[in-house]
Amino acid sequence: MARVALVTGGMGGLGEAICIKMVALGYKVVTTYSPSNKTHESWLATMKDQGYNFTAYPCDVSDFDSAATCIAAVERDIGPVDVLVNNAGITRDMTFKKMDKVNWDAVMKTNLDSVFNMTKPVADGMVDRGWGRIINISSVNGQKGAFGQTNYSAAKAGVHGFTKALALEVARKGVTVNTISPGYIGTKMVMEIPKDVLDSKIIPQIPMARLGKPEEVAGLVAYLASDEAAFLTGANIAINGGQHMS
């Protein structure tokens, strides 16, 4: 029977590449979309035209009750979640001097609280079944920090702290918990950075002298979700073109 993979924030960019990779490997792929997103039907139709059949559910990942409702609907309609990819995230960049509580809270709730909100309803089921994969998408800037990203860097660093602690708790139960920390990937969010900034400030920091490809990160997600990765847990895997090595 095909395993169920739930990818938060799967419509576009990195999430879309992950969804495509997982469905190509035979998973039943479910993604989430913001309740305010009015384009999900057109995205699903476009993906179906390309041969990818996804299911999507509305979910505010920053809200615990919304996440619980979403998971309950997925498990009722599709089946228990075997692979959870916590990918949804936002940025609200500004220096700490200009940072206000609203933009701090927005990033922390969407990028860090969401990991708890989505994992809590599925973790016990994974443990009971003796198999599960929880894959949390962090960032190179959670490892090294970034100017103007105190909120984002703090949230993404917290993601890996969560990963390590939960990995210890479920390690004997056939459930792995890992973090992926991408560098600058050629997603819509990154491509919105002015080209002169990319060319003068960001690309020169990357030894491979290019942005990463969403498909490269998706391939790593697929490995972590596989049976072959059963002995890998609590890890933070950097995929950043050599920009930051630790």
Cα 22 to chain centroid, rounded: 13
Instruction: Please report how the helices 64-77 and 114-129 are oriented relative to each other, as an axis angle in degrees rounded to 10.
Output: 40
Q: Any idea where the domains of the chain sit in the sequence?
A: 4-239
CA 90/CA 106 separation, integer angstroms: 8
pLDDT digits (tens, 9 = 90+) for 163-212: 999 999 999 999 999 999 999 999 887 888 899 999 999 999 999 999 99
Q: Which of 27, 33, 57, 152 is catalytic?
A: 152
pLDDT of residue 183: 95
CA 215/CA 220 separation, integer angstroms: 9
Residue 94: which of 85, 78, 107 has the closest Cα?
Answer: 107
Instruction: Please report how the helices 40-49 and 13-24 are oriented relative to each other, as an axis angle in degrees rounded to 10.
Output: 40
Q: What is the DSSP letter of 132?
A: E
CA 53/CA 24 separation, integer angstroms: 10
Mean residue pLDDT across the chain: 96
pLDDT digits (tens, 9 = 90+) for 101-156: 999 999 999 999 999 999 999 999 999 999 999 999 999 999 999 999 999 999 99
Indicate the pTM of the whole model.
0.96
pLDDT of residue 190: 84
For the question of residue 152 being annotated catalytic, the response is yes
CB 129 within 8 A of CB 80: yes
Tokens of 31: 């993604």
pLDDT of residue 94: 95
What percent of the chain has pLDDT above 90? 91
CA 165/CA 177 separation, integer angstroms: 9
pLDDT of residue 135: 98
Fold topology of 4-239: Rossmann fold (3.40.50)
